[in-house]
Structures are given as structure tokens and as C-alpha cells.
Amino acid sequence: MIALEGLTRHFDGKAVVDGLSLTVARGELLVLLGGSGSGKTTTLKMINRLIAPTSGRVRIDGRDTAELPGHELRRSIGYCFQQIGLFPHMSVAENVAITPSLLGWDPAEIRRRVDELLTRVELAPEEFRDRAPDALSGGQQQRVGLARALAARPLVMLLDEPFGALDPLTRDRLQQEFQQIRRDLELTAIFVTHDMVEALLLGDRIAVLEEGRLAQVGTPAELLRSPANAYVERLMETPRRQAELVDRFLGRDAGP
């Protein structure tokens, strides 16, 4: 479904992404994992051409994205990110409806789609559709951002740390909701995070980036059991240690 072929991007003569080649199967969620400066967000932005590659190609469903007009490409891809970026002068419903409106959908169909998606992200349409974004909590705004990214029925979604600024309970709930929506709609997705636990929980596979290069790609179990190098091993230490602590506490509480 998605193929990155030798994808490279230079800034000021330095390779921020360096010869990255990856494939994402239809219906798969691939996590891009790595620390700050590893090239995750730059990779995501090259996929929807917010940033032009210095070299290499991106193919979606076999088509070279460089051959598509940028606005046409971006309207066909759901894009959700941490800053949310809701338009403050528009209502919740108007924010969700932006892309379908640009695509010329019938107003009645747009209204049905908006109400459907608000319901899916657990924001009752009759209560939330006419609210302004600044009347929402951070978690509610993030739900609206997710609904907006899904509005035009994309087959591909790009998510850039969309839940990173949320409190743990809201974050866990939205992760679960997104996973259910993704499976129901058979979405193909690339999800950027620096959170190792989030990567292990959400990813069908995880691609670890180190200084713009691919360090390892594999299932969560493969990365935990057989890290390819010391960098991947360090990344996996945190979730492994947390799991061991939970097991220890549970064993202690169980008693003799």
C-alpha cells in the first residue's frame, strides 16, 4: 500500500532522513519510533509532500506521489498530529467537515458523516457539533482532530504523536478508540511516536529510526526479543523494566 524507496532529505547539507526504504501493507499500522531528531516527523511530511524529498520516492497504492498535485494527495490522506490545529473561528462540525466540503460533497452527506464520526469518537453530535474549539477540553479537541482526519474516508492515515500531550487516562482511551476505528475501517496507517510503550501497544510492526537511518523493523515481539543494536536495546529497556515491575507488584500482592 505504502512504499518508501531510498527516501532522503537534507537540511543545510545534513541528511535528516538518509536512504529510508520501508513498506506498509494494506490495513497495517507501522510505528516510526525514535528519539528527537531521528527523522520521524520529516519522514511523515515527505509522505504527504508537506516536505519534498531530496531524493527517493514514495508510492501509495503503486502510484508515485510526485506525480499527483499536492492538494489532491493531501486531501486523500488523513493527517492527525499532536498540536491538533483546529480552526478557532469554526465550530466542531465545521472543523470536521473541512475536507469533505473542499471535495464538493453534498451538504446532507457531510452532516451525516460529521455526526457519524463525532459519535464514533464519543462526542454526542447534539451536544458538541456547534461548540467552538476553545470550549472543549484537550482530550475533546484531540477527538475532533481524529474525526477530522477520518472525515473524507481516507484509506491512508498519518499520525504524528497525536496523543502525546494528553493525560494518561485520556490517552489510553483514545488509543483504544483509534485501534477499533482503524480495524473497522481497514485503514493503513503510519504512526509517529517517541514513546516505546505506545509503539509496542499500537504497532503491527515498528520501524526504529536512528539519526535518520533505519536501525530495525519488526514486530513488537521481535524488537523486544532480538534488538538489532545497542540503540534498539536501550529503547526496549524501558517497557521491559516497567513490565517486570508490574509483574513484581502483582506477585507481591498475591501473597503466599
C-alpha cell belonging to residue 155: 484509506
Strand partners, 57: 5
What DSSP string describes 73-133?
A: HHHTEEEEETT----TTS-HHHHHTHHHHHTT--HHHHHHHHHHHHHHTT--HHHHTT--G
> How much is the pTM?
0.88
| Residue 242 pLDDT greater than 90, yes or no | no
| CA gap 15, 53 in Å, rounded | 11
Distances (CA, A) of 23 to 61, 85, 198: 11, 29, 21
| CA gap 93, 145 in Å, rounded | 11
Cα 173 from chain centre:
15
Residues 16-62: pLDDT tens digits?
999 999 999 999 999 999 988 899 999 999 999 999 999 999 999 99
| CA gap 253, 256 in Å, rounded | 9
- Answer yes or no: are the C-beta atoms of 81 and 161 closer than 8 Å: yes
Average pLDDT over all residues of the chain: 90
Neighbours of 227 (CB within 10 A): 19
- Determine the pLDDT at residue 206: 97
Diameter of the chain measured on Cα atoms? 67
Nearest to 92 by CA among 132, 127, 37: 132
Confidence of residue 85 (pLDDT cuts 50, 70, 90): confident
Q: Which residue has the cell 515481539?
A: 221
- Answer yes or no: are the C-beta atoms of 156 and 78 closer than 8 Å: yes
Helix (H, G, I), strand (E, B) or coil at 1: coil
| Residue 124 pLDDT greater than 90, yes or no | yes
Nearest to 39 by CA among 11, 79, 74, 3: 11
Q: List, edge to edge, every strand of the sheet that includes 63-64.
A: 14-24, 2-11, 55-60, 63-64
- Report, as an integer, the average pLDDT of 60-82: 89
